[in-house]
Amino acid sequence: MARTPIFHEEKKALIIKAALAAFSTHGYQGTTNKLIAQEAGKLMGQEGKPISPALIYHYFPQGKGELFAACLQQFPPIQRFGKAIKENMEQPPEVFLRVLATTYDEVLSTEGVLPIIRLILSEGPLQPELPKALLGILGPNLLIPMITYFDRYIRAGKTRATRPDQISMQLLAPIFMRRAMVTIFPPDQLPIELSEDVEFLDTLVQTLLRGLFIEKSL
């Protein structure tokens, strides 16, 4: 029986998935088209014609920067977070903040997310295409919708004196720090006992609601 051919878009999707695995394992600088082709071979198993390094260049002629941007564009956790924001833009703050907090924590808990974040933080200063690619994805899909939501309440006088970027950072930064901590350190090595995820997120949201949003607007 003839093997089912892998068509154009399926090949491209395979290359992106393989590249993401290679970037996570070898870093940006250490990833080559040869390594990506090897990762693609692992994903394909024994079926189909192997992906060649030359074929990767054919699909992404501008090199690793273009391929990395494509990886971020297709990264399911980013897509899931962006969808959660856009679907809840008309919800009141107590709902919107809770959805953002819960989804963001779930995204950070997803396998493969923190290695990509570490890659950008460690190699970004020397590889300007990395933060550029990240902002190109996060800006229109996450940051601008989120800031637009908070700016609407600020302009309506329904928050205390603040800026939309401050609300965003006060929500996201503690979640990131906590998730990084529990990822790096085993629970039995921490000097304190951490609260459960649900309790932590609920306390964070309630603190923001009481501290930033005027009660009558909630």
User: 45 with 144, same domain?
Assistant: no
Residue 114: its pLDDT value, please? Answer: 86
* 3-class SS string, 6-26: CCHHHHHHHHHHHHHHHHHHH
User: Cβ contacts of residue 50 below 8 Å, gap of 6+?
Assistant: 37, 40, 41, 44
Q: Average pLDDT, stretch 116-131?
A: 91
Q: Which residue has the higher pLDDT, 47 or 40?
A: 40
Domain ranges, residue 51: 8-73
In the chain, the number of structural domains is 2
CATH number of the domain bearing residue 62: 1.10.10.60
Inter-CA distances, 138 with 7, 115, 134, Å: 29, 17, 6
2 is a domain residue? no
User: 103 with 163, same domain?
Assistant: yes
Q: Average pLDDT, stretch 70-94?
A: 93
86 is a domain residue? yes
Read off the pLDDT of residues 149-201 as tens digits, 9 standing for 90 and up. Answer: 999 999 999 998 889 999 999 999 999 999 888 888 877 787 888 889 999 99
Read off the pLDDT of residues 101-119 as tens digits, 9 standing for 90 and up. Answer: 999 999 999 888 888 988 9
Residue 218: its pLDDT value, please? Answer: 46
User: 152 with 101, same domain?
Assistant: yes
Inter-CA distances, 74 with 63, 67, 127, 141, Å: 17, 11, 21, 12
Q: Of the candidates 73, 102, 119, which is a domain's last residue? A: 73
Residue 184: its pLDDT value, please? Answer: 81
3 is a domain residue? no
Residue 27: its pLDDT value, please? Answer: 93
User: 175 with 88, same domain?
Assistant: yes
Inter-CA distances, 159 with 14, 106, 122, 150, 202, Å: 46, 27, 36, 9, 20
Do residues 133 and 73 make contact, with C-beta atoms less than 8 angstroms apart?
no
99 is a domain residue? yes
User: 120 with 61, same domain?
Assistant: no
User: 24 with 126, same domain?
Assistant: no
180 is a domain residue? yes
Among residues 116, 119, 101, which one has the least CA distance to residue 176?
Answer: 101
Residue 3: its pLDDT value, please? Answer: 46
Inter-CA distances, 70 with 7, 27, 50, 54, 130, Å: 18, 16, 21, 18, 12
